[in-house]
Structure 1
Amino acid sequence: MELYITELSKYVITLFMVLYVCECFAVFRYRDEEDRSGTYTRQNILMFLIHFSCFMVICFETGEMSYLFFYAFQQIVLFATVALFHVVYPRANRLIVNNMCMLLSIGFIVLTRISYEKAVKQFVIVAFSIAITMVIPFFVHRLKFLKSLTWVYAIIGAGALAVVLILGTATYGSKISYSFAGVTFQPSEFVKIIFVFFVASALYESTSFFEVFTTAVVAGIHVVILVISKDLGSALIFFMVYVFMVFIATKNPLYLLAGAVGGSGAAIIAYKVFTHVQVRVQAWSDPWSQIDSGGYQITQSLFAISSGGWFGLGLFQGTPESIPFVEADFIFSAIAEELGIIFSMCLILVCISCFIMFMNISMKLNDRFYQLIAFGLGVTYIFQVFLTIGGGSKFIPLTGVTLPLISYGGSSVLTTLIMFAIIEGLCMIHQDEEKEMLRAEKKKLKKLKNQKQREKTYIEDLDESEE
């Protein structure tokens, strides 16, 4: 009986996921949030159906009914998140909230499958993080002085990274975390957001060569600290975000070309200087020749992805635990193995729909500062998705970054939730701009109407005087 349920569930879960993705892109057919309400409702139903179906399979496979209690707590948090955002911020973009909850639910499912203890810990962090991020859209919407803190962002960002470099704990050769009061943080995750605010505040008024050069120096300090810390994945994200934000701010393709040349040169230097970079590049170029050493992770990842097929082996039917650090760096491979290639492709499309909405909000904003913020956060998010999935599928060398909202890691999930909350605040600012434009247009029309009325009265007076 369990075998039949597991086998049937693969197709049902895949069908629900495909339908959810269709709704993700159906949203863009409509301009107003009110017209999208039906689509959002269907998304919520499909999300809860996927979550329920997966946990039913987990309970059947393990025989542990305690998973149902864990599932119930997850449902409460996810439902409360959707409902509270809708009630507290009725003008917020619901696609972002729905996709955020969908990605979190997938993370809960896969982490529960891999390690129940880590899934519980992740759930507690997510619940705490959501409570924090609920207030962020309000502050982003209300605080108007954020654009004037250029050097505050620079000092805080570089200082936080420098603290980790000096006092941080080395993890597999890289200093990426810092422990305080028994809690471990990865400051580079939070500095990503601060860095975006710095570049936006530096370039929103002026894009002169001096401004670009100044921001390049500060960005270079961030990147150099990360390189010395051997956190090359984060360094790459910072560099790419800076290059694309400068390009968008200046609309000068020469800066994009300079970034490409500089990035290529830095990559060559990193390969020459750092041994672990050489190991990763060699493992990427020919993992099969090092299948028992440096290429073990990537070969196991490729085995997992290929063995899943279109619909996956089914939950608890694969061997994701054979991949080292599968819950962090290679969680996409675990998803592909047990939930299938179609499900995994849909997951990528969900991430892309988030990015498109980020860009959509960025283009609609009139304020240059907020426009650059939305663009920078969008690039940060989608580039991290690309690095994680690309590294796990051997498209690019491994960089050691996590899949946002899905991989295990407290700093990563909190940072991504903050990014999504900031975008919601920017969405509310855009709606304020639209209201202001509409108010100005009405005032203009009213003034024009009054002018026409005065002209009409004047003509009538002339006619009466002639008579």
Structure 2
Amino acid sequence: MELYVSEFSKYVIALLITLYTYECFAVFRYDEEEQRNGIYTRQNLLMFALHFSCFLVICFETGDITYLFFYAFQQIVLYAVIVLYRMLYPGSNRLVVNNMCMLLAIGFCILTRLDMNKAIKQFIIASGSLVIALVIPFFIHKFKFLKKLKWVYVLVGIAALSVVMILGQTTYGSKLSYSIAGITFQPSEFVKILFVFYVASALYESSGFFEVFTTAVAAGAHVIVLVISKDLGSALIFFIVYVLMVFVATKNYFYLLAGILGGSGAAYIAYRVFTHVQVRVQAWRDPWSVIDSAGYQITQSLFAISSGGWFGLGLCKGTPEAIPFVEADFIFSAIAEEFGILFAVCLILICVSCFIMFMNISVRLNDKFYQLTAFGLGVTYIFQVFLTIGGGTKFIPLTGVTLPFISYGGSSVLTTLVMFAVIEGLYMIRLDEKEQMRLARVEKAKKKKKRSAPKRRLQRISEAAWEENEGTDTEYPAGDMIEDEE
């Protein structure tokens, strides 16, 4: 019985994720949220069915029915988030909410299979973070002074990173986090959002050479602190986000070219200076030559991905625990092994659909500050996805960043939820701008109609007079017509 359930479930889960992914892109056929309601409803049903199927398989494979209680708590939280967003923010973008919940559900499923204790901890952190994420769109929508806090963003960001550089805990040669009252924080995750707000606030009014230069100094300060802390993955994200935001703000290809050349030179210097970078590059170039040391993680990751096939081995049927730190850096490999390549590709496409919606919101905003903010958050999100999946599949050297919503890590989950909540606030601002434009067109049409009314009355009087006199040359004093108008 267990064998049949496990085998059949692989195809059911693959079908559900495929249909959900199709709906993610079907959304873009329509411009108005009201036209997408049917798609969003189907997405919710597919998400809940997939979530239930995964936990049902885990229960069958482990023989432990208590997993269903954990599933029930997750289902309640995810359903509550969907309903509360619709109640509190009727104009919210439901694709962003649905994808957020779907990715969280996938993360809960794979973490439960890998490590129940870590899955519970992740669920508790995510639940608390969702409460915070529910109020953020209100602040983004209502507080217009956020664009005036340029120096607050940069000072708080550099200070937070500097604390880690001085007092942070060293993990495998890098200072990434510090603890307060037993709770571990990774400030670089939160500073990503502050950094995007800083660049947007610095360039939205003017994007001349002086503004670009000052933001380059501030961005360089962020990156230097991260490099000294040896958090090179975060430093790379900050750099790429800065270069692309400057390019979008200025439309100057010289800045883009300078960024590419500068980044290439910095990467070469990092390779020469940092030993652990050389180790990671060696593991990327030829992991088989160092399979017993630096190449062990990536080779095990490649074994896991290749063994999964199109539909995977099935939940609890693979050996993802053979990959060190699989729940953080290599969780995509675990998904590919047990859920299959088809599921993994659909997961990537869901992330891409989030990015496309972020860009869609960005290009439709009129206020340049909000436009740059949406663009910067979108680039931050998708580039982190690229670094994680690219590193785990040997497409690029491993950087050590987490897969948003799915990898184990409280700071990453909280930061990504905040990021998605900010996007929701920006989407509501876009709706306000759209409504204001509509009202402006209506007012313009009324004024135009009012101005043309006297001319139409004069024309009617002339036509009536002509008909009455049958085309005679009878003259009508202009004063009479003016009096009639009054």
Q: C-alpha separation between the residues in 2 aligned to 1:299 and 1:168?
A: 31
Q: C-alpha separation between the residues in 1 aligned to 2:409 and 2:361?
A: 28
Report the CA distance between 1:455 and its aligned residue: 2.2
Is 1:234 the counterpart of 2:234? The answer is yes
Is 1:186 the counterpart of 2:186? The answer is yes
Q: C-alpha separation between the residues in 1 aligned to 2:118 and 2:176?
A: 20
Is 1:104 the counterpart of 2:116? The answer is no
Kindly provide the amino acid, as one letter, of the partner of residue 388 in structure 1. Answer: T
Deviations 1:220-274 (A, max 9, x none): 0000000000000000000000000000000111111111100000000000000
Is 1:342 the counterpart of 2:345? The answer is no
Is 1:251 the counterpart of 2:251? The answer is yes
Report the aligned-residue RMSD.
1.0
Report the CA distance between 1:181 and its aligned residue: 1.4
Deviations 1:306-365 (A, max 9, x none): 000000000000000000000000000000000000000000000000000000000000
Q: Say which SS state the counterpart of residue 184 (structure 2) adopts.
A: strand
Q: How does 1:43-82 map to 2 (within 5 A)?
A: 43-82=43-82
What's the counterpart of residue 127 of structure 1? Answer: 127
What's the counterpart of residue 218 of structure 2? Answer: 218
Report the CA distance between 1:458 and its aligned residue: 4.5
What's the counterpart of residue 282 of structure 2? Answer: 282
Q: C-alpha separation between the residues in 2 aligned to 1:144 and 1:332?
A: 39
Q: C-alpha separation between the residues in 1 aligned to 2:279 and 2:203?
A: 38
Report the CA distance between 1:169 and its aligned residue: 1.1
Report the CA distance between 1:167 and its aligned residue: 1.1
State the percentage of identical aligned residues.
Answer: 72
Q: C-alpha separation between the residues in 2 aligned to 1:454 and 1:208?
A: 49
Q: C-alpha separation between the residues in 1 aligned to 2:323 and 2:401?
A: 16
Report the CA distance between 1:456 and its aligned residue: 2.3
Kindly provide the amino acid, as one letter, of the partner of residue 19 in structure 1. Answer: L
Kindly provide the amino acid, as one letter, of the partner of residue 208 in structure 1. Answer: G
Deviations 1:23-78 (A, max 9, x none): 00000000000000000000000000100000000000000000000000000000
Q: Say which SS state the counterpart of residue 477 (structure 2) adopts.
A: helix
Report the CA distance between 1:454 and its aligned residue: 2.3
Q: C-alpha separation between the residues in 2 aligned to 1:260 and 1:241?
A: 12
Question: TM-score, normalising length from structure 2?
Answer: 0.95
* Unpaired runs of at least 5, structure 2: 466-475, 481-486
Kindly provide the amino acid, as one letter, of the partner of residue 289 in structure 1. Answer: S
Report the CA distance between 1:457 and its aligned residue: 3.2
Question: TM-score, normalising length from structure 1?
Answer: 0.99
Q: C-alpha separation between the residues in 1 aligned to 2:335 and 2:459?
A: 77
Q: C-alpha separation between the residues in 1 aligned to 2:133 and 2:303?
A: 38
* Unpaired runs of at least 5, structure 1: none
Q: C-alpha separation between the residues in 2 aligned to 1:271 and 1:57?
A: 45
Report the CA distance between 1:465 and its aligned residue: 2.5
What's the counterpart of residue 368 of structure 2? Answer: 368
Q: C-alpha separation between the residues in 1 aligned to 2:387 and 2:281?
A: 14
Q: Say which SS state the counterpart of residue 401 (structure 2) adopts.
A: coil
Deviations 1:367-421 (A, max 9, x none): 0000000000000000000000000000000000000000000000000000000
Kindly tell me the number of residue pairs found equivalent between the two proteins: 467
Q: C-alpha separation between the residues in 2 aligned to 1:245 and 1:132?
A: 27
Q: Say which SS state the counterpart of residue 176 (structure 2) adopts.
A: strand
What's the counterpart of residue 260 of structure 1? Answer: 260
Deviations 1:428-452 (A, max 9, x none): 0000000000010000000000011
Q: C-alpha separation between the residues in 2 aligned to 1:62 and 1:169?
A: 36
Q: C-alpha separation between the residues in 2 aligned to 1:5 and 1:217?
A: 58
Q: C-alpha separation between the residues in 2 aligned to 1:69 and 1:88?
A: 28
Q: C-alpha separation between the residues in 2 aligned to 1:82 and 1:253?
A: 42
Is 1:430 the counterpart of 2:430? The answer is yes
Q: Say which SS state the counterpart of residue 90 (structure 1) adopts.
A: coil
Q: C-alpha separation between the residues in 1 aligned to 2:10 and 2:255?
A: 47
When Rg is computed on C-alpha atoms for both structures, the one with the higher figure is: 2
